[in-house]
Amino acid sequence: MRKINFSFTLIALSLMLLVGASAHGQKVAIKTNLPYWGVGVSPNAAIEFTTGKRTTLELGGGFNFWDFNDNKKSKHWLVQPELRYWVCEPFNGHFFGLHAHYAQYNVGGWDVPLGRLDIFKEHRYEGWLYGAGVSWGHQWILSNRWNLEVNLGGGYARIHYRKYPCVQCGELLDEGDTNYFGVTKAAVSLIYVIK
């Protein structure tokens, strides 16, 4: 029930901000996070609208529904809207953001010896997460229609998980919830400005 209420809250907030955008000259851009394509080939896209003189709303997400060789899994889908305040003007220069996120995942079989990610080598985890965070970013104008953006954010995620002994087999070993504080957004995005 909590998942459904959180999703409806995100949708309602997004619609309210989009309705507010009609009062201002609107600019629209589409983008993709380039490193996200390299992490398990995860298609992703976002659309960003101006909502005020110095504010924009980005509605983004990504997914991966494929299995990999050697029983590796990285199936997931993610939505991550972000409200941004621009220091100068939208789509140019520095901005500060407030984002929310919701995802479902099924991950295992990966040998990643970094911090908490080493747990995916011998076990498979599936579940969902939700949370929010703050970010900073900068956008450079490359041409009349193309921009490049970096964005880094930190925050909180409440993660519900089920743990299994290996990628394709075994009975449930553990189930629970955990709190995560750390990086919640990292992007290098290529942007096409529609208007």
Higher pLDDT, 155 or 74: 155
**pLDDT at 32 > cutoff 70:** yes
What percent of the chain is predicted at pLDDT more than 90? 58
pTM over 0.85: no
What value does the mean pLDDT of the chain take? 84
Higher pLDDT, 161 or 3: 161
CATH of the domain at 145: 2.40.160.20
CA distance 4 to 20: 25
**pLDDT at 40 > cutoff 90:** no
Task: Count other C-beta atoms under 10 Å from residue 179's C-beta.
Answer: 9
pLDDT digits (tens, 9 = 90+) for 116-139: 555 666 788 899 999 999 999 999
Quote the number of domains for the chain. Answer: 1
The predicted pLDDT at position 113 comes to 60
Domain span at residue 46?
2-193
The predicted pLDDT at position 125 comes to 84
CA distance 147 to 130: 29
DSSP code at position 70: G
User: What is the mean pLDDT of the segment spanning 89-97?
Assistant: 96
Nearest CA to 105 among 46, 162, 182, 61? Answer: 162
> 141-159: string of b/e by CB count within 10 Å (b at 16+)?
eeeeeebebebebebebeb
25 falls in which pLDDT band (50, 70, 90)?
low
